């Protein structure tokens, strides 16, 4: 396994999480729903996370299998729903993902990186 490349994907995920969370720092849902620029920036980072998860699933299936605590398929699914149904994005689902799933994912990835 090309360890460097799989670490790159994890680092891309961490950077995208950090960026998305920084964009919503101090915002409430109503603020988010009124701010198209922040919505688009956060959605782009969710796409990046999903794309990195997809690359890991395709290129490093053993690594993915070794880390079942991470919801790889959910990330890929969210990426696909956004990429292929852009005009039907539910911003409240995006908000909930930003609020709960991303901090949890961040902690799980950092735990893997610290092993």
As a whole number of angstroms, the distance between CA 5 and CA 71 comes to 20
pLDDT in tens, 46-69: 999 999 999 999 999 999 999 999
Sorted by sequence, the CB contacts under 8 Å of residue 68 that are 6+ apart come out as: none
Write down the H helix ranges in 35-101: 36-59, 61-66, 72-84, 91-96
Assigned domain for 115 exists? no
Catalytically annotated residues? 79, 84
* pLDDT for the residue 88: 81
Assigned domain for 42 exists? yes
Assigned domain for 102 exists? yes
pLDDT in tens, 8-28: 999 999 999 999 999 999 999
Task: Specify the number of domains making up the chain.
Answer: 1
Assigned domain for 112 exists? no
Assigned domain for 87 exists? yes
Assigned domain for 114 exists? no
Per-residue pLDDT band at 100 (split at 50, 70, 90)? very high
* pLDDT for the residue 96: 94
When the pLDDT of each residue in the chain is averaged and rounded to a whole number, the result is 92
- For residues 1 and 67, the model is more confident at 67
Predicted structure pTM score? 0.91
Per-residue pLDDT band at 82 (split at 50, 70, 90)? confident
Assigned domain for 35 exists? yes
Q: What residue numbers bound the domain in which 96 lies?
A: 3-107
pLDDT at 1 over 60: no
Give me the mean pLDDT over the 27-36 stretch: 97
Encoded tokens for 14: 């961490």
């Amino acid at each position: 396994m090309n360890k460097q490349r799989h670490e790159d994907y994890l680092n891309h995920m961490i950077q995208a999480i950090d960026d998305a969370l920084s964009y919503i720092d101090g915002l409430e849902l109503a603020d988010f729903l009124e701010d198209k620029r922040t919505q688009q920036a956060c959605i782009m980072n969710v796409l990046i996370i999903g794309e990195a998860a997809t690359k890991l699933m395709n290129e490093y299936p053993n690594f993915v299998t070794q880390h079942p605590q991470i919801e790889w398929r959910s990330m890929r699914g969210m990426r696909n729903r956004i990429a292929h149904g852009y005009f039907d994005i539910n911003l409240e689902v995006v908000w909930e993902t930003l609020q709960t799933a991303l901090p949890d994912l961040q902690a799980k990835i950092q735990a893997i990186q610290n092993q």
